[in-house]
Chains A and B, each alone.
Chain A
C-alpha cells in the first residue's frame, strides 16, 4: 500500500469516528483540521454538523495544537478532538489543572510522526504553493507535487518541536488511529550557548528583538488566564513598553508561569514572527522540573500539578 493510501485510510477513520460521535449525539462539536491555503498548512476546524465531517483532513500539515480551543468548546457541551501527542498532552494538562472534566472530551487520538513547518520548508528552498499533498513514510515526510514525490528529510522541514518530541502517541485517548514508528528525539539542536555570561548576552539579544505581539501567549493552551499579567494594569508586573528589559521581564515571567505546565508542543516558537527560540527555553526548564520533582506535564490525568503539591524531602536550602 502506498504511503498516500495509508494516510487516506487514517483520514477515513478520523472522519468516520467524527461523524459517528456527532450523529449519535455523544458530542456537540468536533475539533479537527481542515484544508488550508496550501498542502502544508491546515487550519483548525470546529465542526457541529455530521455532514461537515468530510471537511476534516489529517496530514503533516496539521501543525496547530488544538488543545488551545478545548476549554472554550467544552463550555458548549462535550467535544471530540482530533489529537496528536502534543494536543492530547495539552488536554491532559487541562484535566490535571481542573480546567475541563475528563468526561467533557472525547479524544480521537492520532499517532503523529511529526508535522511540517512551512517556514523551514521555505528555508530549505521548497515552494509550498507548488505542493499538492504531504504524507508520511514511517518517520519521513513525503511531499507531493506535479513533478513527483520528494523526501527532503525530516530534520530540515519538520516543526522543531517534532524533532525533539518523544510523545508521538497520545498519552490519553478514547480511540487511537494509526501507529507511530519508533523515532529517536534529535539532540543538539539548541541554539542557546553554554556558559552563564554567554547565555545572558544571548537572551538579551533575543528579547531585544521581541515585538510583544503576544502570539506566543495567544497560541499556548497552557496560557488560559482570563487576564494575563502582561495586560494587567495593577499590579503592573511588566510595562507595555517594547524595551529590552521589559521584554526580558515578560518572557521570564511567562516562562516561570509555564514551568511544570508546558507540554513542549512548540507552538510559541512556530508562531513567533521574529524567531525567538522559546521552545528551547521551555525544554530546558521542563528538564529541570522533571529532574527535581520527576514530573512531566500532560502525561497522567490523575497527577497533581507540580507546584500545587510538595514533599517534605523536596530539595531546598540547608536548615
Chain B
C-alpha cells in the first residue's frame, strides 16, 4: 500500500505490515513453499519461515512464543494426513494443535490469528494462496495487541536509574 506510506510534509513512514510466523515441515510444506518460489509464484513477504522436521515437532510453546514475541499470526503447515514422512507425526500434531487453537481463543487470541493446514510438496500454489489469504486477514484484524500489560522496568532497575 504505497500511498499510505506518505504522510504530508514528512518523510516516508513505514506502514504497519502484519508479520506471520510460519512453521513448516521439512518434507511437504517446506518443499511446497520452495516450489512456489521456483515456480515464480508471487505471494506476500510477510511470512518468516522456520523449518522443522515434522509438524509433530511443533511444540505448542513455539506458537505461544511467537505470540509472546509479538507476531500477528502463526501459520503451521505439514503433510496431509497419511503422507507424513514419519508415518504418524502429523496425526499427533493434529490433536495437539486442535486443542491449542481452542486454547488460544480462551486466552483471548482470536482464532483467525492461528492457522494450521496441510500443504504437500506439490502444492506450491496452495502455499502461496494461504499466505496471501492469511496476510489479508491479519491486515483486516490489525496489529496484535500483545499478551501482556506494558512491561514496567523491574524495581531494582528503577532504583538504579535514580
Chain A CB within 8 A of B1 CB: no
Contact B61 A229 (CB under 8 A): yes
Q: List 30 A-B contacts (CB under 8 A).
A: A196-B109, A196-B110, A197-B145, A199-B108, A200-B108, A203-B107, A204-B149, A205-B149, A243-B154, A246-B68, A252-B103, A253-B60, A253-B64, A256-B103, A259-B99, A284-B106, A285-B99, A288-B102, A292-B95, A292-B98, A292-B99, A310-B94, A310-B95, A312-B91, A314-B95, A315-B94, A315-B98, A316-B97, A317-B118, A319-B80
Q: Do A198 and B108 form a contact, CB below 8 Å, given A248-B147, A289-B99?
A: yes
Contact A256 B148 (CB under 8 A): no
Of chain B, the residue at the smallest CB distance from A284 is: B106
A246 to B107, CA, bound (A): 15
Measured between C-beta atoms, what is the minimum distance from A119 to chain B in Å?
25
Chain A CB within 8 A of B92 CB: yes
A75 to B63, CA, bound (A): 37
Shortest beta-carbon contacts, A-B, top 4: A200-B108, A244-B148, A199-B108, A245-B148
**Can you add 5 more A-B contacts, CB < 8 Å, to A237-B65, A255-B103, A310-B94?**
A196-B105, A198-B108, A207-B148, A245-B151, A310-B91
Of chain A, the residue at the smallest CB distance from B100 is: A256
Measured between C-beta atoms, what is the minimum distance from B28 to chain A in Å?
12
Chain A CB within 8 A of B43 CB: no
* Interface residue ranges, A against B (CB under 8 Å): 196-205, 207-208, 229, 237-238, 241-249, 252-253, 255-256, 259-260, 281, 284-285, 288-289, 292-293, 306-307, 310, 312, 314-317, 319
A-chain residues with CB within 8 Å of residue B81 when the two chains form the complex: 312, 316, 319
Measured between C-beta atoms, what is the minimum distance from B145 to chain A in Å?
6
A15 to B15, CA, bound (A): 72
A-chain residues with CB within 8 Å of residue B116 when the two chains form the complex: 316-317
A-chain residues with CB within 8 Å of residue B44 when the two chains form the complex: none
Measured between C-beta atoms, what is the minimum distance from A291 to chain B in Å?
9
B-chain residues with CB within 8 Å of residue A255 when the two chains form the complex: 103
A207 to B108, CA, bound (A): 13
Measured between C-beta atoms, what is the minimum distance from A248 to chain B in Å?
4
Contact B64 A319 (CB under 8 A): no
A190 to B150, CA, bound (A): 26
Contact B107 A317 (CB under 8 A): no
Measured between C-beta atoms, what is the minimum distance from B79 to chain A in Å?
11
A253 to B60, CA, bound (A): 7
Measured between C-beta atoms, what is the minimum distance from B96 to chain A in Å?
6
A-chain residues with CB within 8 Å of residue B64 when the two chains form the complex: 249, 252-253, 256
Contact A249 B106 (CB under 8 A): no
Contact B148 A204 (CB under 8 A): yes
A198 to B148, CA, bound (A): 13
A229 to B95, CA, bound (A): 21
A285 to B107, CA, bound (A): 10
A205 to B145, CA, bound (A): 13
A-chain residues with CB within 8 Å of residue B37 when the two chains form the complex: none
Chain A CB within 8 A of B137 CB: no
B133-154 interface bits toward A, Cβ cutoff 8 Å, 1 = contact, 0 = none: 0000000000001111111001
A200 to B113, CA, bound (A): 13
Contact A247 B103 (CB under 8 A): no
B-chain residues with CB within 8 Å of residue A281 when the two chains form the complex: 106
Contact A314 B94 (CB under 8 A): yes
A106 to B148, CA, bound (A): 45
Of chain B, the residue at the smallest CB distance from A197 is: B108
Of chain A, the residue at the smallest CB distance from B153 is: A243
Q: Do A252 and B107 form a contact, CB below 8 Å, given A247-B148, A307-B92, A310-B95?
A: yes
Interface centre among A242, A246, A256, A312 (most CB of B within 10 A): A256
B95's partner among A203, A204, A237, A306 (CB-CB below 8 A) is A306
